[in-house]
């Protein structure tokens, strides 16, 4: 299926295998671009306003004019891809690079026209049994740059760190900068302590995850105790529960951290958040 899928590239709808980019595209040469991943549930685009807002912010932070979103009518393109590919439950990537330049040069030409690629990707989220069992995570020094609030395609550090976790049979690496938790290599992190759900404050050190925002909305709706605060490495290891959030798997309980067992299986609040998420998706996207 995936090779014959229709993707959007720079104004054209084309087959995924036929979509081609220039070797002078700055996305390829420098990782000079940003992206967005948006879930589609039952043909509906999830939290679209929040995703578009973050994409515009990422573009703005790397000095690409965010008006491109409206100029090329990105939401209409996503809807068109859902119809053309008959996506029911799927994930849509929007990749925008600074574009093809005249030569390979760090300094970009102001007239560079951004490259826009929009394509689907199929992931199978974890089953409820997997979620209930929980996953293993490792901790790692957060050696990434200090602009991690930009959803940039320059993901080398995240790629290396996620692969380190994978090679240690772990789902995720939780990142520690100067003694404090920032996020995961590809997710945000929540902990639970004495029934209070906590997550690190937004800053330049972590991505403002849309699932983080969604879960925060759910926590407030269900009147659970919640705090956005600094979480030290010690707090992390002392927590009763830990879970990671991302668009592909909104709530992933971590039951083992490095060599420490957090809990035998997913804790009650993590499972509550998982169930609330599934219920919300069923209610609003069916």
Please state the closest distance from residue 188 (CB atom) to ligand PMP, in A: 5
Q: How far apart are CA 261 and CA 86, in angstroms?
A: 43
Q: How far is the CB of 101 from ligand PMP (least distance, A)?
A: 26
Structure-token match 């690079």, residue found = 97
CB 183, min distance to ligand PMP, A = 5
Instruction: Closer to ligand PMP by CB, 78 or 186: give it.
Output: 186
Q: How many residues does the chain have?
A: 286
Contact 240, 107 (CB under 8 A): no
| Orientation angle between helical segments 268-284 and 210-221, nearest 10 degrees | 100
The torsion region of residue 19 among left (phi > 0), alpha (psi -120 to 50) and beta comes to beta
Q: Which stretch binds ligand PMP (CB under 6 A): 2-10, 235-243, 245-253, 276-284?
A: 245-253
Which residue carries 């685009």 as its tokens? 45
Binding status of residue 85 toward ligand PMP by CB under 6 A: no
For residues 212 to 241, the per-residue mask of contacts with ligand PMP, x marking binding by CB under 6 A and - elsewhere, is: x-----------------------------
Q: Which two tokens stand for residue 13?
A: 């709808």
Q: Does 58 bind ligand PMP (CB under 6 A)?
A: no
Give the contact letters, 195-214, x = binds to ligand PMP (CB under 6 A), - = no: ------------x-xxxx--
Kindly report the number of other CB atoms within 10 A of residue 32's CB atom: 21
Write out the residues near ligand PMP by the rule CB under 6 A. 37, 158, 183, 186-188, 207, 209-212, 245-247
């Amino acid at each position: 299926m995936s090779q014959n899928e229709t993707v959007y590239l720079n104004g054209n709808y084309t087959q995924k295998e036929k979509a081609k980019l220039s070797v002078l595209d700055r996305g390829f040469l420098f990782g000079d671009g940003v992206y967005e991943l948006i879930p589609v549930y039952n043909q509906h685009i999830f939290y679209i306003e929040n995703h578009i807002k973050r994409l515009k912010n990422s573009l703005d932070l790397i000095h690409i004019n965010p008006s491109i979103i409206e100029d090329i009518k990105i939401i209409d393109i996503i809807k068109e891809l859902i119809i053309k590919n008959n996506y029911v439950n799927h994930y849509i990537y929007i990749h925008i690079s600074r574009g093809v330049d005249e030569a390979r040069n760090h300094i970009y030409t102001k007239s560079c026209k951004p490259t826009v690629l929009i394509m689907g990707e199929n992931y199978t989220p974890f089953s409820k049994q997997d979620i209930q069992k929980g996953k293993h995570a490792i901790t790692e020094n957060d050696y990434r740059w200090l602009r991690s609030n930009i959803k940039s395609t320059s993901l080398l550090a995240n790629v290396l760190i996620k692969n380190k976790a994978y090679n240690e049979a772990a789902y995720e690496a939780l990142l520690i900068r100067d003694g404090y938790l920032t996020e995961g290599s590809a997710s945000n992190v929540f902990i639970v302590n004495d029934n209070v759900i906590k997550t690190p404050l937004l800053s330049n050190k972590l991505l403002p995850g849309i699932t983080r925002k969604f879960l925060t909305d759910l926590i407030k709706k269900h009147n659970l105790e919640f705090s956005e605060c600094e979480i030290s490495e010690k707090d992390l290891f002392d927590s009763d529960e830990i879970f990671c959030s991302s668009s592909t798997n909104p709530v992933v309980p971590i039951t083992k951290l490095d060599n420490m067992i957090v809990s035998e299986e997913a804790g009650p609040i993590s499972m509550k958040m998982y169930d609330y998420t599934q219920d919300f998706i069923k209610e609003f996207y069916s």
